Structure 1
Amino acid sequence: MNILIVDDEPLARVRLKRLLTNSQTIRLLGEASNGREALQLAKKQIPDLVFLDVDMPGMSGLEVAKELNFSAVPPAIIFTTAHPEHALDAIGLNAAGYLVKPISEQSLQKAIEQLGRLTRVQVQKQHMNKISYQLAGTLKSIEMKSIFYFSAEEKYTKIVFEEGDALIEQSLKQLEALYQTFILRIHRNTLVNRSKIIALHSQSNGHHVIQLQGCDELLPVSRRELRAVKDAL
């Protein structure tokens, strides 16, 4: 399990690293002393688990957790703090665990055991009903049920949904792997929302198009994907 440690206190980071040395399943990717640094590291390293201090100057751990939850592949989060009253806030952010300082080896081991055999992809399932994107510097999210389709747009992927459209950095291949139960490939450049499919239409020229509920566009189906589309229907 790949982890990040985030705490503004150097001694707290040292103690946690020492306690984690006994675990053969843990691989430390890095450590951060503040919220912004934590987000940068998480984006670069894509950890499975983040040990996150709640009480940090500037950007608090709770604020960091909210940002991490919008990641395309959000990590599991175990909060660490000297103030137990933050527990309810942590629960509201789908925390995988909560450790009160000073952290004991026993409490740490119990928190790790509670994660069991969860992988990053399995933890992610609680976030799978949404996809995040940036708009004018603001992080927003779309519920999967409102998305019509994804199409490749040079270096980006275009999401077309009920309220409009947006660009994201994830490729169609990455989206297909992450959201395979929700989406269906109909063309090398197009993925559609399975739940939106109404019908597959054949045209006079021998080509086929997909009709989606609430979407005015008829999307072309490639010959290569036609069999898979028919099987899905």
Structure 2
Amino acid sequence: MNVLIVDDEPLARTRLKRLLAVDKSIVIKAEAANGNEALELAKKYNPDLIFLDVDMPGMNGLEVAHKLNRMPLPPAIVFVTAHPEHALDALQLSAAGYLVKPITEQSLSKVLDQLGRLNKAHVQKQQSAKISYQVAGVIKSVELDSIIYFIAQQKYTNMVFEGGEAFIEQSLKQLELLYPAQLLRIHRNTLVNKSKLLCLKTQNTGVHTIELVGCKEHLAVSRRELKAVKDILNA
């Protein structure tokens, strides 16, 4: 298992490396001292697991995790923190686990033992995920794999899927946090299913749009999200 360690404290990185050295199945590919380095090294090495410190100057660990979760095949993330109250935030970002400093051999061993089982359960949950909606008082559901895109419209979110569309109450932010491996933000008001991406087009005016499987409409891509879309298409 290839591992990336991210912590702004050199002593903390050294301690974790020493504890991990006991497990011969783990290969430490690199270590980063800040969020920007973490993102660069994650793209370079594509690690299976990242130990990610929450409290770092500049881009903190939660912000880094949010960006990592937008990768085509995001790594498993174990948050490392001196503050147990961050555990809830970690779980909301689909973390595989969290460790409270100072890390002990026992706590690390427990997280590693659970990691494979948690990842498998997480993948199965994502693959079988369904989103419910209501039509004329009747509750229906659609599989996540069948959804093409979501677009925010005032107080509700319009969900467009194969064979229809419906309004749901979940916000784009909530959906993005729940299904980071499947959904990609292309605009402040639009999330798309990564598996539906076909191509990116640039008009003479400089406007960027994407084509999606099963969607006749070309959806606008904001400049802010352009790189993320290109990364997915080039992966």
Same fold per TM (> 0.5)? Answer: yes
- Over 3 Å counting, the alpha-carbon distance change for 1:66 and 1:22 in structure 2 is same
- 1:48 maps to 48
Count of residue pairs brought into register by the alignment: 164
* Alignment counterpart, residue 150 of structure 1, candidates 160, 182, 198: 198
What are the equivalent positions in structure 2 for 1:92-107 lying under 5 Å apart? 92-107=92-107
Instruction: Flag the structure with larger Rg.
Output: 1
1:130-154 CA-to-partner distances (Å, cap 9, x unmatched) read 243767xx8x741358x4x62598x
Query: Do 1:50 and 1:77's aligned partners in 2 also have CA atoms closer than 8 Å?
Result: yes
- 2:182 maps to 130
- 2:219 maps to 164
Query: Do 1:6 and 1:38's aligned partners in 2 also have CA atoms closer than 8 Å?
Result: yes
- 1:2 maps to 2
State the SS of the aligned residue for 2:38.
Answer: helix
CA distance in 2, matches of 1:44, 1:110: 28
1:170 CA drift (Å): 4.7
Query: Which amino acid is 2:47 matched to?
Result: P
Query: Which amino acid is 1:21 matched to?
Result: A
Query: Which amino acid is 2:193 matched to?
Result: E
- 2:38 maps to 38
RMSD of aligned C-alpha atoms?
Answer: 3.2
Query: Do 1:2 and 1:29's aligned partners in 2 also have CA atoms closer than 8 Å?
Result: yes
Alignment partner of 1:80 is 2:80: yes
- Over 3 Å counting, the alpha-carbon distance change for 1:100 and 1:129 in structure 2 is closer
Query: Do 1:159 and 1:165's aligned partners in 2 also have CA atoms closer than 8 Å?
Result: no
- Over 3 Å counting, the alpha-carbon distance change for 1:63 and 1:169 in structure 2 is closer
The TM-score, its normalising length taken from structure 2, stands at 0.60
- Over 3 Å counting, the alpha-carbon distance change for 1:118 and 1:91 in structure 2 is closer
- 1:22 maps to 22
- Over 3 Å counting, the alpha-carbon distance change for 1:60 and 1:159 in structure 2 is same
Query: Do 1:7 and 1:53's aligned partners in 2 also have CA atoms closer than 8 Å?
Result: yes
Query: Do 1:52 and 1:61's aligned partners in 2 also have CA atoms closer than 8 Å?
Result: yes
Query: Do 2:7 and 2:53's aligned partners in 1 also have CA atoms closer than 8 Å?
Result: yes
- Over 3 Å counting, the alpha-carbon distance change for 1:38 and 1:124 in structure 2 is farther
Query: Which amino acid is 2:219 matched to?
Result: G
- Over 3 Å counting, the alpha-carbon distance change for 1:169 and 1:66 in structure 2 is closer
- Over 3 Å counting, the alpha-carbon distance change for 1:75 and 1:125 in structure 2 is farther
- Over 3 Å counting, the alpha-carbon distance change for 1:71 and 1:31 in structure 2 is same
- Over 3 Å counting, the alpha-carbon distance change for 1:83 and 1:152 in structure 2 is closer
Query: Do 1:80 and 1:98's aligned partners in 2 also have CA atoms closer than 8 Å?
Result: yes
1:21 CA drift (Å): 0.4
CA distance in 1, matches of 2:47, 2:125: 16
